[in-house]
A and B are shown apart, each in its own frame.
Chain A
């Protein structure tokens, strides 16, 4: 079957760095997405990786290892506004997104 695993909740301190891990098992693979979702709001696109390696975009970076079925989202210089859920989603062979349940990130001052 198809499955996405990510931690349910993480806590970090303002100004610090946090890494949110995601492992995936899908029928075929056409890339890995990360979305941010604030409580009560819509998910918003953060990053897309299809090749192995690290993609940096400002304070946020995303990494992919296709051989290990593994990705992580790295958030630097954490701000209080980064408190949100972070959703990992893998694109399967039918170009349908398989979503993880999300990681709730709590930022403490």
Chain B
């Protein structure tokens, strides 16, 4: 079934550790996004990629990095995790970086202790 796959589903991590959240899509979408979702707040954009080889900063990029080596994969790395990064992380993709609907993965629930 075509879609977006995120891994892991959930993770508990010690503060200060490095962590990479994986995201793969098989829809050949050009644009990809990483969001965090916290209780009582709307989804907040962390980083995005218009097309393979390019990335951009969203609303809350500090403490996170991304890469887009090919069309399908868009990993998100926390270089040194802090408790405030405890959240649910969603990866999404769209056909293009404009008004096309975004399709979401099932999310990664991350807890930093």
Using a CB–CB distance below 8 Å, which chain A residues touch chain B?
4, 30-31, 33, 41-45, 48, 50, 87, 89, 91, 95-102
Most buried by B among A31, A42, A91, A95: A42
Cα A31 to Cα B97 in complex, Å, equals 13
Interface contact B42-A44, CB-CB below 8 Å:
no
Identify whether the interface residues of B are mostly helix, strand, loop, or mixed: loop
CB of B99 closer than 8 Å to a CB of A: yes
In the complex, the answer to whether A4 meets B42 with C-beta atoms within 8 Å is: yes
Asked whether A101 and B104 contact (CB < 8 A) given A30-B99, A95-B98, the answer is no
Contact of B40 (CB < 8 Å), options: A33, A99, A101? A101
**Chain B residues closer than 8 Å to A98, beta-carbon distance:** 42
Contacts of B34 in A (CB 8 A): none
Cross-chain contact B101 with A99 (CB below 8 angstroms): no
The answer to whether A45 touches B107 (Cβ under 8 A) is no
Chain A residues whose CB sits within 8 angstroms of the CB of B107 once the complex forms: 41-42
* Distance between Cα atoms of A45 and B93 in the complex (Å): 12
- With A42-B106, A42-B107, A44-B104: A31-B42 Cβ-Cβ less than 8 Å: no
B58 to chain A, nearest CB (A): 7
Please tell me if the beta carbons of B41 and A101 are within 8 angstroms of each other in the complex: yes
B28-68 contacts to A, CB under 8 A, are 40-45, 48, 58-59
- Cα distance A100–B44 in the bound complex, in angstroms: 10
B101 touches A30 (CB 8 A): no
